[in-house]
Amino acid sequence: MCMVLSESFHATDWTSTMQLEGITALVTGANRGIGKQFARALVEAGAAKVYAGARDPASVTDPGVVAVQLDVTDDASVRALAAELGDVQLVINNAGVGAPALPLDIDLEQARWEFDVNYYGTLRVAQAFAPILARNGGGAVVNMLSALSWFAMPQLSNYSATKSAAWSLTNALRLQLREQGTRVVGVHVGYVDTDLTAGLEGDKVHVSAVSDALLAGLRADEDEVLVDDTSRQVRAGLSAPLSALYPDPAAA
């Protein structure tokens, strides 16, 4: 099927550079792991204010951040926070969950829960905060994705599906929100050394590598941040035959 984009979506070369010093940011899922590191890195980069969203604000303990209550699976919670935080210029959609399960074995309630956090949660926050970003000059939305947006692992099949959906959403948001001057950035990485990956084998990057790459990408006005070799290799493999990403062990 051939897709022809309307002229309204063919816009505009970006010429502005995002200044992190003095910015006001919201990070979801900021009480642990990558989100905690994002919030910490923004404070160190000179952000004027960093709101750290979590279901339980008491679980946010880092100095220099402002803990706020946020459940990305709850429409009312997201709307209430957006009504409160009218000064936000940067939104980092980091909240995410995942549980190992083969596709034929996964419990459907678990599957729905993962989608509710990883996909619908990202969508809820983007919808609620896009008008605020527009009023504050455009700013940026960052969606924390994964190399598994592009590569399916049977034991993480549903997590991969949620991140694939969130990647598609990220690209669509980028097209729509550029009209209001809002940059949309997707961050992809392989395994990161957090509690989410504690039971998984493989090389893992430190959370600081993710935050360093994101901040550099924001300053360079990048649309897509590939943190590690895993994400770069899988991204490049998308243009190759399917066997490049999924070789047949029997043929080796």
DSSP for residue 187: E
Close Cβ partners of 163 (under 8 Å, ≥ 6 residues apart)? 118, 145, 146, 148, 149
Q: Which amino acid is at 96?
A: G
Question: From CA 239, how far away is CA 241, in angstroms rounded?
Answer: 7
Residue 4 lies in a domain: no
DSSP for residue 5: -
Asked if 187 contacts 146 with a C-beta cutoff of 8 angstroms, the reply is no
State the catalytic residue, choosing from 119, 159, 191, 246.
159
What pLDDT does residue 167 have?
98
The three-point CA angle 120-123-127 to 5° equals 140
The CATH number of the domain holding residue 52 is 3.40.50.720
| CA 155, 157, 162, 167 torsion-angle sign | positive
3-state secondary structure of 202: coil
Residue 40 lies in a domain: yes
Domain range enclosing 37: 20-236
Residue 119 annotated in active site: no
Residue 15 lies in a domain: no
What pLDDT does residue 198 have?
52
What pLDDT does residue 3 have?
43
In tens, the pLDDT along 64-106 reads: 999 999 999 999 999 999 999 999 999 999 999 998 999 999 9
Residue 244 lies in a domain: no
What pLDDT does residue 247 have?
84
Structural domain total, the chain: 1
pTM of structure = 0.89
- What is the chain's length? 252
Residue 95 lies in a domain: yes
The list of the chain residues with pLDDT below 50 reads 1-15
Residue 169 lies in a domain: yes
Residue 246 lies in a domain: no
In tens, the pLDDT along 171-202 reads: 999 999 999 999 999 999 998 866 565 555 66
Residue 11 lies in a domain: no
Q: Residues of 2-11 as b/e, b for ≥16 C-beta within 10 angstroms?
A: eeeeeeeeee
